[in-house]
Amino acid sequence: MASTTISRTVPASPDKVWALIGGFHALPDWLPYVPQSTVLDGGRVRRLEDPENAGGIVIVERLVSFNDAERQLSYVIVESPFPVDDYIATLRVHSVPGRDDVAEVQWSGRFNPLNATEEEAIDVFNKIYSDGLEALHETLLAA
């Protein structure tokens, strides 16, 4: 099983960051390449797509754990074009010791490469996580 983790310090308190990203269907609020999250299965499943782009990808993810007090959630991919299976990811918001105006956000995933090398699969998610955390940083700066 392959894994990767990307961390980034962002300019807001952990509670403010979690308020923005902690909702399972909040991706469109901070991730520009995910303009729509459709709620399914009572809120435990999200369908991510770009309705303006007919050639766009569709990703379906299921929430598997949520801990508001620890500011973390985990989800699995049910359907996607990514070259992996058995994918599980966790998004966490950490305090930075001695600072209440910044937070560390960690996005990690574990998966089995499928029709791709381990390095290729890791590269896919390193880019997604890095770009996503950069978008989060920019969203928080603009707030």
pTM: 0.93
pLDDT at residue 84, as a whole number? 96
pLDDT at residue 53, as a whole number? 63
**Contact call for residues 108 and 5 (beta carbons, < 8 A):** yes
- The DSSP letter of residue 23 is S
Q: What contacts 31, CB < 8 A, 6 or more positions away?
A: 132, 135, 136
Q: Mind listing the pLDDT tens digit of every residue in the chain (143 residues)?
A: 999 999 999 999 999 999 999 999 999 999 988 888 999 999 999 999 876 665 678 999 999 999 999 999 999 999 999 999 999 999 999 999 999 999 999 999 999 999 999 999 999 999 999 999 999 999 999 98
> DSSP string covering 92-119, please?
EEEEETTEEEEEEEEEEEEEEESSS-HH
Buried b (16+ CB within 10 A) or exposed e, 115-143: eeeeeebbebbeebbeebbebbbebbeee
* Cα 43 from Cα 33, distance rounded (Å): 21
